[in-house]
Structure 1
Amino acid sequence: MRVSISPDSLRYTQDSISSNFKNGKSLEKAINDVAKRVLSVESFPVMEVYSLGGKFWCRNNRRLYVMKELQMRGHLEEIVVDYVGERPHNRRYFTTKTIGKSIRVRRGRFRTINADTLFSSFVYLTLTDDDFILD
Structure 2
Amino acid sequence: MRYLALRPCTIRYTQDSISSKFSEGSPHSGVQIGQTLDDIVTGHCSITDLPPMTVEMVKGVWYSSNCRRLWVLKKAEELGVCSLVPVKQGFLNESQITTYNFGKNIKVRGDPGGKIWRKVTKLWGKFKKPLKSFGRKVKRSTKGLTKDLTEVSDSSRPYY
Q: Normalising by structure 1, what TM-score?
A: 0.75
| Pair 88,49 (structure 1): closer, same or farther in 2 beyond 3 Å | closer
CA drift at 1:89: 4.9
2:80 corresponds to 1:74: yes
Whole-angstrom distance in 2 between the partners of 1:88 and 1:18: 20
Structure richer in strand, relative to its length: 1
Structure 2 spans left out of the alignment, 5+ residues: 24-28, 115-160
Contact 1:52 1:88 in 2 (8 A): no
Structure richer in helix, relative to its length: 2
Structure 1 spans left out of the alignment, 5+ residues: 109-133
Q: Which runs of 4+ in 1 moved over 4 A?
A: none
Pairing 1:98-113 to 2, within 5 Å after superposition: 98-107=101-110
Q: Normalising by structure 2, what TM-score?
A: 0.63
Q: Deviations over 1:58-106 (max 9, x none)?
A: 010000000000000110111010012xx56522x22211101010000
Q: Deviations over 1:36-77 (max 9, x none)?
A: 000111110110000110010001000000000000011011
Pairing 1:89-104 to 2, within 5 Å after superposition: 89-91=93-95, 93-104=96-107
CA drift at 1:24: 0.9
Match of 1:6 in 2: 7
User: Residue 34 of structure 1: SS of its match in structure 2?
Assistant: helix
Pairing 1:1-135 to 2, within 5 Å after superposition: 1-22=2-23, 23-84=29-90, 89-91=93-95, 93-107=96-110
Equivalent pairs: percent with the same residue? Answer: 31
